[in-house]
Amino acid sequence: MGRVRVALCQINTVVGDLDGNLSAILRALEQAEADGCDIAAFPELAITGYPPEDLVLKPGFISANLESLEKLAARTGRCAAIVGFVDVGRDLYNAAAVCALGSVQGVYHKRLLPNYAVFDEQRYFMAGTEPLSLFRIAGVRVGVSICEDAWSPTGPIAALADGGAELVVNINASPQYAGRLAERERMLATRAADASSVLVYVNQVGGQDELVFDGASLVFDAHGSLLARGPQLMESQLVLDVNVQPIFRKRLLDPRGRGSAEALPELVISNEPTAGDEEPRPGTIADPLPRAAEIYDALVVGTRDYVRKNGFTDVVIGLSGGIDSSLVATIAVDALGAEHVHGVSMPSRYSSEGSKDDARELADALGIDYRTIPIEPAHAAFLDMLRPSFADRPEDLSEENIQSRARGVTLMALSNKFGWLVLATGNKSEMATGFSTIYGDMVGGFAVIKDVNKTTVYELCRERNRRSPVIPESVLTKPPSAELRPGQRDDQSLPPYDELDPILEAYVEQDMTAGELAQAGFDPGLVRRVVTLVDRAEYKRRQAPPGVRVTPKAFGKDRRLPITNRYSG
């Protein structure tokens, strides 16, 4: 029986920050060495940050990435660092380097390149075709693979196992959405058991534009049993000793056959485990987060990293007293601290006293800077200015949207003057149906709850109040309203959210057509109304700020429909 001590280093990288990423890797490697580790595994493309997108088209960027790898390799000793970088051959490759003893000992090129959902890897990389090989580390035959390589039952992990791998390290930059961890665990447990190999899965953590990476690194034994799980949505260094049992018996008796591959060539790095005669170090298994907590914490991480990684310190939010702005303000405080959040009440002639009171109560509970800037003077001035052009036409959305746009102008003025980033407060239900004002409440640098439907907004507010009550109960119980005309309620313009959101989920996230929705039991008239609203709002969504992705399909990189489009389904 062999024993190897592994460090799963789920670090938060920054795309393009080669020096910063290298420093983070070296700090983690130093800790792994101090812990007596044989292997320190880092995320996919950890040198460059993930996803680097068109940065890889810059030759200077590629050269600098290779220089960073050489600096890392020169620093290594007996503990092997397995780290992601961009390699150059005939073309570019998403690659993993095994660095030890002061140099790069070997390189693996990712073979399965995802080109769906948020992934565009075939745009940038060639698939690896070089012969596979193994690394003998602490006397254990170790194979290396990258992210998508693990998702195919007949992919590289199976080939590595057939060639003699006793442990496979899979490095990842796998984005989060609600429920993704359970999907990964089912797949990886199957892959480990099928391969009869220990499987070490290390994942990136942190926010990058719309994406959030949740960490939750995993280790499975050769039977598919979970040995360790890292925490979700926070940096962590998970260290454990893995016992590698003789596996020839299981492979010989496997009813599926013994595999046809010959033994793979090995590069010997070390034959004795660093841990020596120390007491075995077991893995820890962090509890998975419940759904609402996972979504909420992902929004906090995504907001914090977007703001800080882009050089902002403070944010400003229009506080209407409604549930959406209340949730966004609370997330912002949890992400950045109350001292960096500024709330602005911008009442008009139609703003209710209750909503103004709710906004102030929330601001007091959060401890944020709060100010009131009435927009009525600007609203009245616009109406006077436009009266000759509007002539005797009745009031409609035109007058309502003037109020929203006046608020947008106000927030952007504060942003320009003080350098605060404006956080938009629109939710996914509004973004989907166009129930948001372009150049008004869509104004902002980041849309925190852009991928959160309205019913989930309520769920997240209750989740946050369970931790400590800050959102007024009246915000959770009053009918939602934009308050742009007397007595306005959302359900006068949209179906009730408990009817609307299931249709939106099926149409937007599951790509069902209107006809399929009707066949599934949804009211055909309601379906046609909702689908029409979604399709007509595509041009608006193209102009919306980015926001955190928390579902399997968000507006943005995930969903790319033509604006000019007459297919009705």
List residues with catalytic annotation: 44, 110, 147
Helical H segments across 505-546, by residue range:
514-519, 524-536, 538-542
Residue 114, both tokens: 């995802």
How many other C-beta atoms are found inside a 10 Å radius of the C-beta of residue 11?
20
Burial label for 500, CB within 10 Å (0-12, 13-18, 19+), is buried
Strand order in the sheet with 236-244: 103-109, 92-100, 80-88, 39-41, 2-10, 236-244
CB 137 within 8 A of CB 94: no
In order, the DSSP letters of 79-97 are SEEEEEEEEESSSEEEEEE
CB 142 within 8 A of CB 168: yes
- Distance in angstroms (rounded) separating the CA atoms of residues 459 and 456: 5
Residue 253 one-letter amino acid: L
- Which candidate, 214, 150, 147, 205, places its Cα nearest to that of 180? 214
Helical H segments across 76-179, by residue range:
121-124, 156-162
Strand 134-137 relative to strand 140-146: parallel, antiparallel, unpaired? antiparallel
Q: Three-state DSSP class for 334?
A: helix
CB 203 within 8 A of CB 12: no
Q: 124 — phi, psi (to 5°)?
A: -115, -30
Residue 382, both tokens: 């616009």
- Distance in angstroms (rounded) separating the CA atoms of residues 304 and 326: 17
- Distance in angstroms (rounded) separating the CA atoms of residues 149 and 129: 13
Q: 7 — phi, psi (to 5°)?
A: -115, 120
Residue 449, both tokens: 């709850």
Strand 80-88 relative to strand 39-41: parallel, antiparallel, unpaired? parallel
CB 176 within 8 A of CB 550: yes
Burial 461-498, CB ≥16 within 10 A → b, else e: bebbbeeeebbbeebeebebbbbbbeeeebeeebbebe
Residue 438 one-letter amino acid: I
